[in-house]
């Protein structure tokens, strides 16, 4: 199959050259499988095989793209797509900058992120995973829902500037399991990400669910008073926060468009806590990395923050072209963010609950409906939803109703950052919308931020 893909791209390149069209081709193929559960039963079990081809034609400072859903047997239709893009670019408005067409000086083929075992996992194995993880946890009132999403992603690129090409293949799985009370309306959740089949661990996910279920069934629920709290964020919450730091923080394009809370004068300055070390690290296979970007630039570990010091912006090629900057190898569908761990020994929720504490701690594992209030100030808002706990200083545990935080990222990751756990985990941030793009971040299992304000507190579940 790989050779057929590459040969198809070569033939399309030859066709474009024969037509005197400067063009770039981006091939994306996905095999996606989804098993969805609701009310303790399978509600959907489906799969799809899609092949997308994006053809971009260039003419001076003009550029036009045409995308089609196709099949490798439809070479003639793909060639017609070249003709369509070539006609479109004639009528496109010129950009106010010269866009760069990639120049691949050597071919690069990477299948290190592909695992045949995970790619070939069966429906029976998906169901067995859910059954093992949820064993003994469901009742007439407590119902199971969730998803087991897995698949294979293949991308490839070639253009008319050289005969060389790029090819990437990866496998991935994303599992979310939710237990909800049918009358009290609370929910608890546990998740898992996998790049290879051996990383699937239903027993571990089941232990996380069982521990939270015990708390929610037997500990006292309450509405929290408004005020300031020491908050421990779980891996999912940390991952979502880092996603916002990426969007409105260290993106060069966001900077130039006035949509960043960081400035060029802050490069080399301490912005966050000295405990904060964030790297884009394509060597971590758990993040489904791209080790060359779409322009062909090698992607090595790229420090973004070192001991809280801002190391520099990342530049997508088109933003670099528009604003006269130097691209950094980040013209990719997703980055491979890794937040380093700290010194606190807490790798599971049970270990977190057992830690000695001299103040109450609010544990928030998930941040729901996160939105950006003011990008230039790094101000975000989000609510808790799944599995929050109030860890009292006397060792007891309460179950808080949902709360809302509206805080600056500078406060969350700045000097109020008290500690990070030594243990790290993988949080899958893949979206189920659009073309398959498996994405995850490596984060500490927990981090604590002191003195954050709760701006709203629900009076019930």
pLDDT digits (tens, 9 = 90+) for 10-64: 999 999 999 999 999 999 999 999 999 999 999 999 999 999 999 999 999 999 9
Instruction: For residues 371 and 386, state if they share a domain.
Output: yes
Contacts 24+ apart (CB under 8 A), 320-327: 320/252, 321/97, 321/98, 321/99, 321/100, 322/95, 322/96, 322/97, 322/253, 322/256, 323/252, 323/253, 323/256, 325/252, 327/100, 327/295, 327/297
Instruction: For residues 239 and 318, state if they share a domain.
Output: yes
Encoded tokens for 261: 């809370």
Instruction: For residues 298 and 427, state if they share a domain.
Output: yes
Is the pLDDT confidence value at 447 over 90? yes
pLDDT digits (tens, 9 = 90+) for 331-378: 999 999 999 999 999 999 999 999 999 999 999 999 999 999 999 999
Instruction: For residues 59 and 94, state if they share a domain.
Output: yes
pLDDT for position 37: 96
Is the pLDDT confidence value at 461 over 90? no
Average pLDDT over residues 139-166: 97
Q: What are phi and psi of 40, to 5 degrees?
A: 60, 35
pLDDT digits (tens, 9 = 90+) for 269-324: 999 999 999 999 999 999 999 999 999 999 999 999 999 999 999 999 999 999 99
Pairing of strands 227-234, 361-364: parallel
* DSSP structural state of residue 250: S
Encoded tokens for 375: 């990008």
Average pLDDT over residues 158-181: 97
- Measured from the Cβ of residue 48, the count of other Cβ atoms closer than 10 Å reads 11
Q: How far apart are CA 180 and CA 461, in angstroms?
A: 11
Share of the chain above pLDDT 70, in %: 100
Instruction: For residues 282 and 179, state if they share a domain.
Output: no
* Structural domain harbouring 85: 2-218
pLDDT for position 92: 97
Q: Are 311 and 272 in contact (CB under 8 A)?
A: no
Domain boundary among 190, 218, 246: 218
State the CATH number of the domain containing residue 96. Answer: 3.30.2290.10
Is the pLDDT confidence value at 437 over 90? yes
pLDDT for position 305: 98
Instruction: For residues 201 and 271, state if they share a domain.
Output: no
Is the pLDDT confidence value at 246 over 90? yes
Instruction: For residues 286 and 201, state if they share a domain.
Output: no
Q: Are 459 and 401 in contact (CB under 8 A)?
A: yes
Share of the chain above pLDDT 90, in %: 98
- pLDDT confidence tier of residue 431, bands split at 50, 70 and 90: confident
Residue 117 CB partners (closer than 8 Å, separation 6+) = 196, 197, 198
Q: Containing H/E element for 310? A: strand 309-310
Instruction: For residues 203 and 235, state if they share a domain.
Output: no
Instruction: For residues 126 and 228, state if they share a domain.
Output: no
- Measured from the Cβ of residue 270, the count of other Cβ atoms closer than 10 Å reads 16
Domain boundary among 154, 183, 218: 218
Q: Are 286 and 440 in contact (CB under 8 A)?
A: yes
Is the pLDDT confidence value at 434 over 90? no
pLDDT for position 432: 78
Instruction: For residues 155 and 258, state if they share a domain.
Output: no
For residue 92, CA distances in Å to 17, 21, 66 come to: 20, 15, 12
Instruction: For residues 244 and 130, state if they share a domain.
Output: no
Q: Across the chain, what does the average pLDDT equal?
A: 96
Domain boundary among 194, 218, 242: 218
Is the pLDDT confidence value at 433 over 90? no
Instruction: For residues 105 and 121, state if they share a domain.
Output: yes
Question: Per the structure, how many domains does the chain have?
Answer: 2
pLDDT digits (tens, 9 = 90+) for 185-197: 999 999 999 999 9
pLDDT for position 311: 98
């Amino acid at each position: 199959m790989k050779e057929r893909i590459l040969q198809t791209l070569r033939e399309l390149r030859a066709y474009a050259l024969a037509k005197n069209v400067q063009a770039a081709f981006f091939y994306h193929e996905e095999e996606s499988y989804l098993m969805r559960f609701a009310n303790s039963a399978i509600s959907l079990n489906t799969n799809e095989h899609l092949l997308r081809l994006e053809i971009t034609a260039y003419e001076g400072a003009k550029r036009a793209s045409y995308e089609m859903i196709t099949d490798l047997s439809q070479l003639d239709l793909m060639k017609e797509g070249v003709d369509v893009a070539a006609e479109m670019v004639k009528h496109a408005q010129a950009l106010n900058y010269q866009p760069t067409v990639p120049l691949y000086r050597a071919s690069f083929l990477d299948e290190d992120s592909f695992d045949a075992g995970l790619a070939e996992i069966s429906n029976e194995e998906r169901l067995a995973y859910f059954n093992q993880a949820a064993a003994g946890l469901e009742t007439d009132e407590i119902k199971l829902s969730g998803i087991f999403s897995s698949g294979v992603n293949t991308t490839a690129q070639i253009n008319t500037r050289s005969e060389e090409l790029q090819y990437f293949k990866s496998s991935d799985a994303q599992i979310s399991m939710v237990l909800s009370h049918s009358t009290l309306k609370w929910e608890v959740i546990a998740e898992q990400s996998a790049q290879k089949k051996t990383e699937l661990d239903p027993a571990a996910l089941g232990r996380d669910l069982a521990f939270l279920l015990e708390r929610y069934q037997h500990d006292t629920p309450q509405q929290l008073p408004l005020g300031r709290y020491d908050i421990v964020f779980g891996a999912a919450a940390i991952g979502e926060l880092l996603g916002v730091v990426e969007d409105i923080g260290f993106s060069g394009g966001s900077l130039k468009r006035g949509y960043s809370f960081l400035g060029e004068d802050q490069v080399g300055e301490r912005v966050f806590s000295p405990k904060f070390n964030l790297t884009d690290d394509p060597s971590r296979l758990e993040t489904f990395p791209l080790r060359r970007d779409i322009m062909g630039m090698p992607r090595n570990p790229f420090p973004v923050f070192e001991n809280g010091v801002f190391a520099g912006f990342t530049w997508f090629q088109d933003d670099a072209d528009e604003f006269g900057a130097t691209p950094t190898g980040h013209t990719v569908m997703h980055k491979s963010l890794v937040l380093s761990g700290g010194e606190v020994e807490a790798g599971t929720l049970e270990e977190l609950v057992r830690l000695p504490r001299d103040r109450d701690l609010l544990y928030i594992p998930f941040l729901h409906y996160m939105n950006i209030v003011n990008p230039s100030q790094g101000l975000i808002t989000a609510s808790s939803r799944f599995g929050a706990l109030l860890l009292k200083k006397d060792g007891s545990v309460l179950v808080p109703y949902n709360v809302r935080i509206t805080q600056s990222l500078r406060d969350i990751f700045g000097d109020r950052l008290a500690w990070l756990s030594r243990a790290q985990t993988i949080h899958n941030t893949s979206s189920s919308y659009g073309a398959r793009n498996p994405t995850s971040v490596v984060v500490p299992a927990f981090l604590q931020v002191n003195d954050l304000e709760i701006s709203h507190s629900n009076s019930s579940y």
